Amino acid sequence: MAEPWLGRAACLVGGEWRTPDGPAIPVVDPYTEQPIGETAEAGTALTAEAVSAAVAAGPAWERTSPADRADLLDRLATVLEARSGELSALITREMGMPATLAAASQGDLPPRVLRAFAAAARAFPWTEKIDGASLHRGPLGVVGAITPWNMPAHQIIAKVGAALAAGNTVVLKPSEATPFDANLIAAAALEAGFPRGVFEVVHGTGPVTGQALVADPRVAHVSFTGSVAAGQAVAALAAGHTASTTLELGGKSAAVLLPDADLPRAVVAAVKSGLVNSGQACNATTRIVVPHTALADVATLVADALDTLVAGDPRDPATTFGPLASARQRDRVRHLLDTAGDDRAVVPRRLALPEQGFFVGPRVHFGLDARHPLVRQEVFGPVLVVQSYPDEAGATAVANDSDFGLSAEVWSADPDRAEAFARTLHVGQVKINGVRTRERPGVPFGGRKASGYGRELGAEGIADLTAVQAVLR
């Protein structure tokens, strides 16, 4: 039985749904490999209309009190809670995320993030006194939000929720691979009572519609999540009209197992974290850093952890390992793997991959040189590396030997020791003994070095999208 055809994703412009009429961009189910719908470029003209509507809606939205804005965010959370099953199932179809993970990270998490933003907005220091001056925080203006396909609903809410809480209006360009979940969220915002023009959606590719959005001189800030190269291009284009930017550009996160860590628990958790969403997560622990003396035991534990994976139809709740999001992503990962060969790679002993779908089997490499591409590059696929260290100073050196600085994990029997070690790491967020980012929706998230700059989530995420005015008297 054929799955329902989702049609062509329309853009939301000035509170009205507008269907772009350009050439079709197929939206493909990564498991069935069949199109489930399509989108098209909004392009320069329709994007400009969306920005115009956002500009027009700006003054009234800025005058809306932070408490009233927070109430609307709570209302949107309530609407999304009622549609969480629909939203997560849609994302499973769009990009192949296993249903159980989609329910937790794309169905349950977005409403909790919105409620965290609402609470932060009510407590936020919109006005404060410093050295005899009054500091007033207000909106920047129109925020352009450009979101990826890997965690689509969460990324939309992280950007849009903060921008709206701060009093900005938003024009969202979601990934062309996952347009339908964006439209569901935008429709929910209208249902929740957000004024027309406050939250706009335009569809299309980065080089066409994304570029039109970033280049519009009326866009005051661009919040972008994606590759390093694309983020650098976005920042350069935005700088042409002095727009500020928030960039989240991926990572090569280390899970550091200190000598006193519970090795079986930590290895299993690090492998699971590294392979979440088939490795398509910016904060996936794709480097597992362990003591030299534990390497043999770690190899055995890694093999056991891989054997717990269940590959299959991502709609099946039993599936824990799904396809990559597209044929393009599958081919990119395969190309990177061709550079490494199979030498010293641990692979599952009992994992049967389906014949259909954009699957790449997981593997964990041992003994690669620190300059090897699989150690240096963000693969964005089910590929992990194990690195070793002689002592804690060496562990810090190995973990920090990366162009990226998004996140890390530290494992130790002593949480205070783990926290002290965490302070030596050059990353934006460190999780101790298995805490998950999605468990703390009010904690800021963002990176250093090639992982970008700026912060999302919570009060820090709101502050990142405000302008400060100092009044001296």
Instruction: Identify the pLDDT of residue 1.
Output: 52
Same fold, 11-249+452-472 and 254-441: no
Helix axes 152-165, 66-82, angle to 10 degrees: 160
- Contact 304/364 with Cβ under 8 angstroms? no
Burial of 307 (0-12, 13-18, 19+ CB in 10 A): exposed
Domain assignments of the chain as residue spans, ordered by start:
11-249+452-472, 254-441
Q: Which long-range contacts (CB under 8 A, 24 or more apart) does 417-422 make?
A: 417/258, 417/260, 418/258, 421/256, 421/258, 421/392, 421/395, 421/396
Query: In degrees rounded to 5, what are phi and psi of residue 40?
Result: -155, 165
Beta strands in 184-321 (DSSP E): 199-201, 219-225, 244-248, 254-257, 287-291
Measured CA to CA, the distance from residue 207 to residue 24 in angstroms comes to 16
Instruction: Identify the pLDDT of residue 343.
Output: 67
Quick one: fold of 254-441? Answer: Aldehyde Dehydrogenase; Chain A, domain 2 (3.40.309)
Distance of CA 249 to the CA centre of its chain: 9
Instruction: Identify the pLDDT of residue 339.
Output: 76
Catalytic annotation on 248?
yes
Instruction: Identify the pLDDT of residue 82.
Output: 98
Instruction: Identify the pLDDT of residue 2.
Output: 67
Superfamily of domain 11-249+452-472: Aldehyde Dehydrogenase; Chain A, domain 1 (3.40.605.10)
Residue 47 corresponds to which amino acid?
A: T
List 248, 378, 409, 456, catalytic entry? 248
DSSP string of 34-85, one letter each residue: SEEEEE---HHHHHHHHHHHHHHHHHHHHHS-HHHHHHHHHHHHHHHHHTHH
Tens-binned pLDDT, residue by residue, of the chain (473 aa): 567 899 999 999 999 999 999 999 999 999 999 999 999 999 999 999 999 999 999 999 999 999 999 999 999 999 999 999 999 999 999 999 999 999 999 999 999 999 999 999 999 999 999 999 999 999 999 999 999 999 999 999 999 999 999 999 999 999 999 999 999 999 999 999 999 999 999 999 999 999 999 999 999 999 999 999 999 999 999 999 999 999 999 999 999 999 999 999 999 999 999 999 999 999 999 999 999 999 999 999 999 999 999 999 999 999 999 999 999 999 999 998 987 766 678 999 989 999 999 999 999 999 999 999 999 999 999 999 999 999 999 999 999 999 999 999 999 999 999 999 999 999 999 999 999 888 899 999 999 999 999 999 999 999 999 999 999 99
Q: Which two tokens stand for residue 151?
A: 């965690």
Measured CA to CA, the distance from residue 41 to residue 214 in angstroms comes to 15
